[in-house]
Amino acid sequence: MRSIRVEAVTEPKRSALEAYTRQGRNRFESLLQEFVEIPSVSMDPSCRDDIQRMADLAVRTLQSMGATAKKVSTPGNPVVFGRFRQNRRFPTVTIYNHLDVQPAGEPEWRRTPFKFEIKGNRYLGRGATDDKGPAITALMAARYAVENRIPLNIQFVWELEEEIGSPNFESFVKTMRHDLRTDSVIVSDTIWVAAGRPSIPYGLRGMVAARLLLETGKKDVHSGLTGGAARNPVAELCQIVAACHDAKTGGVTIPGFYRDVMPPRLHEIREFAASGFRVSHFKKAHGLLDLRTHKGLKVMRRIWSEPTFEVHGISGGYQGPGVKTAIAPRAEAKVSMRLVPLQDPQKVLRLLRQHVKRMNPDVRVIPEGYLRPYLGACSGPYAQAARRAYRYAFGRDPAFIREGGSIGAVVTLERHLGVPILFLGLSLPEHGYHAPNEYFDWGQASGGIRAFVKYFTEISRIRS
Whole-angstrom Cα distance, residue 220 to residue 200? 52
For Zn ion, give the closer residue by CB, 130 or 161: 130
Q: Beta strands 92-98 and 153-159: pairing type? A: parallel
* Shortest reach from residue 201's CB to Zn ion, in Å: 13
Binding segment toward Zn ion, per CB under 5 A, in 58-66, 111-119, 127-135, 171-179:
127-135
Binding segment toward Zn ion, per CB under 5 A, in 77-85, 124-132, 209-217, 256-264:
124-132
Terminal CA-to-CA distance of the chain, rounded, Å?
10
Q: Is 438 in the site for Zn ion (CB under 5 A)?
A: no
Q: Is 403 in the site for Zn ion (CB under 5 A)?
A: no
Look at residues 195, 131, 191 and name the one whose alpha carbon lies nearest to residue 160: 131
* Shortest reach from residue 98's CB to Zn ion, in Å: 6
For Zn ion, give the closer residue by CB, 21 or 168: 168
Binding segment toward Zn ion, per CB under 5 A, in 126-134, 177-185, 279-287, 290-298:
126-134
Binding segment toward Zn ion, per CB under 5 A, in 64-72, 89-97, 122-130, 322-330:
122-130
Give SS3 for 403.
strand
* Shortest reach from residue 414's CB to Zn ion, in Å: 18
Whole-angstrom Cα distance, residue 361 to residue 392? 59
For Zn ion, give the closer residue by CB, 40 or 92: 40
Whole-angstrom Cα distance, residue 130 to residue 102? 9
Q: Is 131 in the site for Zn ion (CB under 5 A)?
A: yes
Whole-angstrom Cα distance, residue 375 to residue 369? 20
Give residues 86-105 in contact with Zn ion (rule: CB under 5 A).
none
Write down the H helix ranges in 41-185: 48-64, 133-147, 169-175
For Zn ion, give the closer residue by CB, 131 or 236: 131
For Zn ion, give the closer residue by CB, 391 or 434: 434
For Zn ion, give the closer residue by CB, 138 or 254: 138
Cis ω for the linkage preceding 131 (within 30 of 0): yes
Contact residues for 245 (Cβ-Cβ < 8 A; gap 6+): 251, 252, 253, 254, 309
For Zn ion, give the closer residue by CB, 131 or 271: 131
For residue 447, give the DSSP letter.
Answer: H
* Shortest reach from residue 416's CB to Zn ion, in Å: 20
For Zn ion, give the closer residue by CB, 352 or 424: 424
Give SS3 for 191.
strand
For Zn ion, give the closer residue by CB, 65 or 164: 164
* Shortest reach from residue 391's CB to Zn ion, in Å: 25
* Shortest reach from residue 67's CB to Zn ion, in Å: 22
* Shortest reach from residue 408's CB to Zn ion, in Å: 11
DSSP notation for 3-49: --EE---PPPPHHHHHHHHHHHHHHHHHHHHHHHTS--BTT-GGGHH
* Shortest reach from residue 82's CB to Zn ion, in Å: 19
* Shortest reach from residue 101's CB to Zn ion, in Å: 8
Whole-angstrom Cα distance, residue 7 to residue 290? 52
What value, to the nearest 5°, has the Cα angle with vertex 146 and ends 142 and 147? Answer: 115
The count of chain residues that interact with Zn ion, using the rule CB under 5 A, is: 3
Query: Given candidates 130, 159, 271, 458, which one binds Zn ion under the rule CB under 5 A?
Result: 130
Whole-angstrom Cα distance, residue 83 to residue 156? 6
Write down the H helix ranges in 89-232: 133-147, 169-175, 223-226
For Zn ion, give the closer residue by CB, 189 or 271: 189
Give residues 162-201 in contact with Zn ion (rule: CB under 5 A).
189
Whole-angstrom Cα distance, residue 299 to residue 367? 29
* Shortest reach from residue 130's CB to Zn ion, in Å: 4
Binding-site ranges for Zn ion (CB under 5 A): 130-131, 189
